[in-house]
């Protein structure tokens, strides 16, 4: 990435001598990749025996399974250029078809007003309109602050539509009532969407100055994990190290830009000295590793940060195709998984042959709860039964293989106090000069993979002397999946469409 795209260098700076990166997910590898390209010595330590973190791809008997479906889309064209260059020769374009399964019916996602009017009972339509008008009136008159997820969705869509399309799925994902979750998640994921915007699009069509990023997306032919594979390969090619199966246990601060990372590898304790450490370790866990210890307020805040965990049930099916969807969001509480995708619909290279297909079923859970404590065999059987008996997607006899993967710390939970907790921790970590946090877990921010990569690249440019803030990624106040065009570009596109 060009420094002119993300920051301006104001004065000469001494490059770091040695940067140690904790974690080989997209954010950590992006930081290491950019530093390596500029001649900085880098060591990446990864506890797993693979790179990619939450955006890896597992291979199993000729089939490839992403750890949940990840697509590449970004509003940053410079980042798109970087991505195309990195993945040159490996990209395919995928048409997105995402739907919601709600009480036996299917709705496109994002939701469309026309479908609501044609598929819902007239009384339900009246209730949707009335609840939205009431919510809008109440908000206008009372001007109540919107603090939690329930209030945010209700303000945008009204209580009826919130209960239909947002409440059950959100509570399935997060494992707690929407009234206990911050409105920030809604602001990041659906700001700008409301009944008014749906009605305007239904009546007038899409705005000329806005383009959708959701209809088609770029995807690595052999799975999303190839992005991390390519970055890791280029880091190693630059004579730097990506060390797998290295569990970081302690981070010792010896003074400004003098940090020691203690880790276990092959059962032996080892240490690495660095002038800068970049951590993608879950933020709460990092606080417990630092010596001298963080103060009691930061430690308490760290202990109270909560992540949601994930179990993915990956199926091999003797069947050509289950559906045309790229994603299916399953709201029903009696179906154990919350989201499903069919890798073959993203790339034909994800399956062993055309006579078979595969599915990735995401079961949201928390370590120790009733889903997490199920055996792999039990949760696999339950998913298969739900697919066959409730969704009628498959016959049980079509299942040839099952691969169950458990992932900790998949989603940061935005409770009502999360912002103050993060602020307390970040203020404390500023004392450790040379320590930086990045990525979804490292910053406790619900990043997409492109956000994490952009954040990592910006942090690298910051270490290289550019005046740029890597923490300003994923804070825009505009809907993630739309991009507003300049007036001149909008006019050109409008003329071209005529």
How does pLDDT run across 436-447, given as a tens digit for each residue? 999 999 999 999
Question: With the CA atoms of 459, 464, 466 and 472 taken in that order, what torsion angle do they form, in degrees rounded to the nearest 10?
Answer: 0
- Give Cβ neighbours of residue 356 (< 8 Å, ≥ 6 apart): 63, 316, 317, 318, 319, 320, 400
The pLDDT of residue 109 is 85
Show the low-confidence residues of the chain (pLDDT under 70). Answer: 1-13, 140, 189-214, 476-498
Alpha helices in 167-295 (DSSP H): 168-174, 184-190, 195-204, 225-237, 283-289
The pLDDT of residue 203 is 52
Question: What is the rounded distance in angstroms from the CA atom of residue 78 to the CA atom of residue 376?
Answer: 42
| 202 alpha carbon, distance to own chain's centre | 29
- pTM above the 0.95 mark? no
The pLDDT of residue 213 is 45
The pLDDT of residue 459 is 98
The pLDDT of residue 406 is 98
The pLDDT of residue 497 is 34
């Amino acid at each position: 990435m060009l420094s002119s795209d993300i920051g301006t260098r104001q004065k000469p700076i001494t490059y770091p001598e040695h940067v140690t990166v904790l974690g080989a997910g997209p954010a950590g590898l992006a930081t290491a990749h950019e530093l390596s390209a500029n001649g900085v010595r880098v060591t990446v330590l990864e506890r797993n025996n693979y790179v990619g973190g939450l955006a890896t791809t597992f291979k199993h008997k000729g089939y490839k399974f992403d750890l949940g479906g990840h697509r590449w889309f970004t509003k940053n064209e410079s980042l798109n250029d970087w991505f195309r260059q990195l993945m040159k020769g490996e990209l395919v374009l995928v048409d997105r078809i995402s739907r919601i399964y709600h009480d036996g019916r299917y709705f496109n996602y994002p939701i469309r007003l026309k479908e609501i009017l044609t598929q819902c009972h007239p009384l339900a339509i009246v209730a949707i309109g009335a609840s939205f008008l009431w919510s809008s009136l109440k908000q206008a008159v009372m001007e109540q602050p919107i603090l939690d997820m329930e209030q945010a969705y209700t303000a945008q869509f009204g209580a009826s539509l919130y209960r239909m399309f947002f409440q059950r799925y959100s509570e399935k994902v997060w494992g707690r009532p929407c009234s206990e979750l911050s409105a920030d998640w809604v602001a990041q994921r659906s700001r700008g969407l409301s009944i008014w915007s749906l009605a305007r699009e239904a009546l007038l069509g899409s705005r000329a100055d806005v383009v959708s990023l959701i209809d088609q997306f770029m995807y690595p032919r052999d799975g999303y994990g190839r992005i991390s594979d390519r970055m890791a390969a280029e880091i190693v090619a630059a004579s730097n190290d990506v060390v797998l199966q290295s569990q970081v246990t302690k981070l010792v601060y010896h003074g400004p830009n003098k940090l020691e990372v203690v880790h276990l590898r092959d059962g032996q304790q080892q240490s690495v000295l660095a002038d800068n450490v970049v951590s993608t370790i879950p933020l709460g866990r990092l606080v417990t590793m630092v010596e001298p210890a963080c103060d009691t307020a930061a430690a308490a805040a760290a202990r109270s940060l909560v992540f949601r965990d994930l179990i993915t049930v990956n199926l091999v099916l003797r069947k050509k195709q289950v559906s045309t969807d790229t994603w299916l969001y399953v709201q029903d509480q009696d179906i154990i998984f919350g989201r499903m995708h069919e890798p073959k619909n993203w790339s034909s290279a994800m399956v062993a042959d055309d006579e078979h297909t595969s599915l990735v079923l995401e079961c949201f859970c928390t370590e120790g709860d009733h889903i997490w404590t199920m055996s792999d065999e039990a949760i696999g059987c339950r998913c298969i039964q739900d697919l066959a008996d409730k969704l009628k997607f498959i016959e049980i006899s079509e299942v040839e293989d099952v691969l169950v993967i458990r992932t900790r710390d998949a989603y940061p939970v935005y409770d009502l106090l999360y912002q103050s907790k993060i602020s307390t921790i970040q203020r404390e970590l500023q004392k450790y000069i040379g320590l930086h946090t990045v990525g979804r877990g490292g910053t406790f921010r619900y990043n997409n993979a492109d956000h994490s990569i952009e954040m990592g690249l910006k942090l690298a440019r910051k270490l290289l002397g550019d005046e740029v803030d890597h923490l300003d990624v994923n804070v825009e106040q505009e809907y993630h999946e739309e991009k507003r065009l300049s007036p001149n570009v909008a006019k050109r596109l409008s003329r071209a469409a005529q």
